[in-house]
Amino acid sequence: MIRRENPARVAEIVGAVARTPAADVDAVVRAADADFRRWAATPVDARLALLDRGAAAIEGAVGELSVLLSRETGKVLGDCRGELGFAVRYLRWVVENAPIAYADREVDDELGRLIRQHKPYGVVAAITPWNAPVILAVLKIAPALAAGNAVVVKPSPLAPLTLDRVAALIGGPLRVVHGDSATGAALVGHDLVRKVAFTGGAAGGRAVAALAGDRLTPAVLELGGNDPAVFLDDAPFDDAAMDRLVMATFATSGQVCMAAKRLYVPAARLPDFVDAYLAAASRVLVTGDPLADGVTMGPVISAAARRAAGALRTGDCRDLGRFDADEEAGYFVRPALVVSPDPRDPLVSAEQFAPVVPVLGYHDEDAVLAAANEGELGLGASVWSADEERAVAFARRFEAGFAFVNTHNRTGMSLRAPFGGVKRSGWGREYAAEGLAEYAQTCVIHAPAAYRPGAGIPAGGPAAYPV
């Protein structure tokens, strides 16, 4: 069994799920493959009706599920409600948009007849993390099922409980396996898995990519980020912007791939920025029991995460917000802003995934752009300015898959905007039409006009290559 403790009260076991030994994964995937044969032949309206019913079922259980999600992850209750609500919204968005995305495209003209079909892959393996376990699974499950695939999802053992319940509410050709990396490897490496979708860290991404590549299995990888937030010299430090930035940094205790993780401010304005940031934190940041009213930040996920966060609290470290947590009961970390650390410090050069963030002064826009683009990660980035055109011009030069303007993290997301990284932050996209397209293969039927009955082929025969 996998037993999950409450990160806010580690003596409390929230629940347990049955572990799937690696040797048992074969039977699960073979059953999913049989599901796929039936599901792919099911009319698309019936497939979408299943997703619509799943959305309604999740919506009806949001109150109960959000408490469970908060207890197993340490995320604050409002965040958990938001995640479940967004999962419902995305399911319904897929129901609305999948008929367009997966419809056949046909052209019949003087060149002939060309049909583009969108066919499912087969069994899709989805490997999901603990920090947003429901939405990051639904982003894979919903388009995969809509396109006619079967899905086997493996949640993180740090957050298996709520996703197990959500998968049961969706139903259909959707199966869940629970376990560690050995279970995941057995799933990703199975010969009947035809597509892999993974969200997680670099080490897991490399392992998944190697296994999938060895079998020539296509994959979608959404990996980590070390997102810079660059304030231009005209950026306002008003309350609304600073409140937005603080929560873009510390939502889910900073354990978000697209959180603002490096703050860059003109050196001449750095003292004013620090004052504004501290004031915003005092307004919006309250660390404590994630189920308590008014709390906006809970614990980190584990003892190891707490130790790693503590190691980042060096130099000019300013504690932030109000701290109402019982440090003896759970994995709580005091959120902090570190002012002007060495750019080579791991706090700056590597993804923190912790409630500690650096702020650095800069003197030149070209230099700060180079600093923002430095490193092997390129998930998100943001630029802040009173002039939107100037901000957009700067954002065009980011080496990032998603650039925000005057916001960062969840407040800048949109269902119509494809999300994913560049460089070693992964490949493939989620959300938008591009996210739907990841789960269907384009297959072609082509009847060239030259070979139609009665068309007549020139004496010399057709050209060797089309024109």
DSSP H helical ranges for 363-454: 365-373, 388-395, 432-437
Count how many Cα atoms sit within 13 Å of the Cα of residue 170 in the half-sphere of its side chain: 31
DSSP H helical ranges for 352-400: 365-373, 388-395
CA 388 to CA 12: how far, in whole Å? Answer: 49
Question: Within 10 Å of residue 95's Cβ, how many Cβ atoms?
Answer: 20
Question: Within 10 Å of residue 293's Cβ, how many Cβ atoms?
Answer: 9
Phi, psi of 268 (to 5 degrees): -65, -25
CA 62 to CA 108: how far, in whole Å? Answer: 48
Backbone dihedral region for residue 396 (phi beyond 0: left; psi -120 to 50: alpha; all else: beta): alpha
CA 422 to CA 129: how far, in whole Å? Answer: 20
CA 434 to CA 311: how far, in whole Å? Answer: 39
| Catalytic entry in 80, 257, 430, 438 | 257
Determine the 3-state secondary structure of 221 from DSSP: strand
> If we measure between CA atoms, which residue out of 388, 343, 401, 346 comes closest to residue 368?
343
Q: Are 36 and 120 in contact (CB under 8 A)?
A: yes
Question: Within 10 Å of residue 232's Cβ, how many Cβ atoms?
Answer: 18
Determine the 3-state secondary structure of 193 from DSSP: strand
Catalytic-residue membership of 80: no
Q: How far apart are the first and last CA of the chain?
A: 62
Say if strands 426-427 and 441-448 run parallel, antiparallel, or are unpaired.
Answer: unpaired
| Catalytic entry in 222, 351, 430, 438 | 222
In this structure, which amino acid lies at residue 167? A
Q: What is the 3-state secondary structure (H, E, C) of 163-184?
A: HHHHHHHHCCCEEECCCCHHHH
CA 48 to CA 102: how far, in whole Å? Answer: 12
What is the rounded (10 degree) CA torsion for 184, 186, 189, 193?
-90
Residues with catalytic roles: 222, 257
